[in-house]
Amino acid sequence: MNKSDRYFLTNLDLILEYGSEDVNPRPKYEDGTPAHTIYITQVFEKYDLTDNEFPITTLRPIPIKNGIKEVQWIYQDQSSDLSRLEGEYGIKWWRPWNIGDGTIGQRYGATVRKYDLMNNLLKGLLNDPFGRRHIISLWQEDDFNESEGLLPCAFQTIFSVRRKNGYMYLDMTLIQRSSDYLVAGHINKMQYVAFQMMIAKHCGYEVGTFAHFVQNLHIYDRHIEQAGEILWRDASKKNPILQLNVPDGTNFYDISAKHFELIDYEPVEPQLKFELGV
């Protein structure tokens, strides 16, 4: 059982045994029923990528490559256009959040483009690597006032560079206000690890540690049966890793999901189905 699986089982236990139930939730299921959650707060995980500690759970299959494609849509294309996400990458899970104009509003990639967040980050990491202001924040109140749309869940990344034994390491922290743990929790973790790896390659740095903080970690009331199934599963004995097969110095915008390779990834089947709260 790897570190990610241990975190997964521990957090599920905590949610089911000690979690709080929400009141008057915003999301609804497709049939119009309020989508209630059980949640815990202030959850932190940390992984040492140099020691092949990746947040890859083996307790259920995770579409990691699709998660990386979503990162491309947000940070390379810098788009919120759903036709591009579906047509170029084949990802359809954002459909329920279409605001009616074929986009998810002035959110995510549109915010990255508006404030030139990605290019500013890359310049800062190269020109002032030991600075303490390497931050991308998708939480922009002006954008929320500009259009409708889901407020960003994974909304901030913070980067630090450190030198050790002659090598430069890039550490990253992902901050989420909210995480639908069973549906998207591990997609978010791994797509942002891939994001960290892409940036490290661009800068010629090694990947260091990945940390993840979630303020509200929850499962929906219609996912309790699936949570119980996961708790009974036996995790793989292998330790899966993600490898990025491009040379150091490869431009961030030239790296795609096809350059990543999953090694020793043998998740437990079958896949589980989840009803979305939207």
**For residue 247, how many other CB atoms are within 10 A of its CB?**
7
- In the set 9, 150, 153, 246, the catalytic residue is 153
Q: Kindly report the CA angle at 125 between 88 and 167, in degrees rounded to 5?
A: 105
203 is catalytic: no
Kindly list the strands in the beta sheet with 206-220, ordered across the sheet, starting from the edge strand earlier in the chain: 20-21, 37-48, 206-220, 167-180, 154-164, 134-137
Element (H, E) at 162: strand 154-164
Q: Kindly report the CA angle at 90 between 85 and 91, in degrees rounded to 5?
A: 60
Residue linked to tokens 């924040």: 137
How many angstroms separate the CA atoms of 176 and 179, rounded?
7
Query: CB-based contacts of 189: which residues, under 8 Å, 6+ apart?
Result: 4, 45, 55, 174, 210, 212
Q: Are 210 and 193 in contact (CB under 8 A)?
A: yes
User: In sequence order, which ranges of the chain are alpha helices (DSSP H)?
Assistant: 3-18, 64-71, 82-89, 109-114, 117-127, 141-146, 186-203, 224-232
How many angstroms separate the CA atoms of 83 and 92, rounded?
9
Catalogue the E-assigned strands of 23-119: 37-48
Catalytic annotation, residues? 153
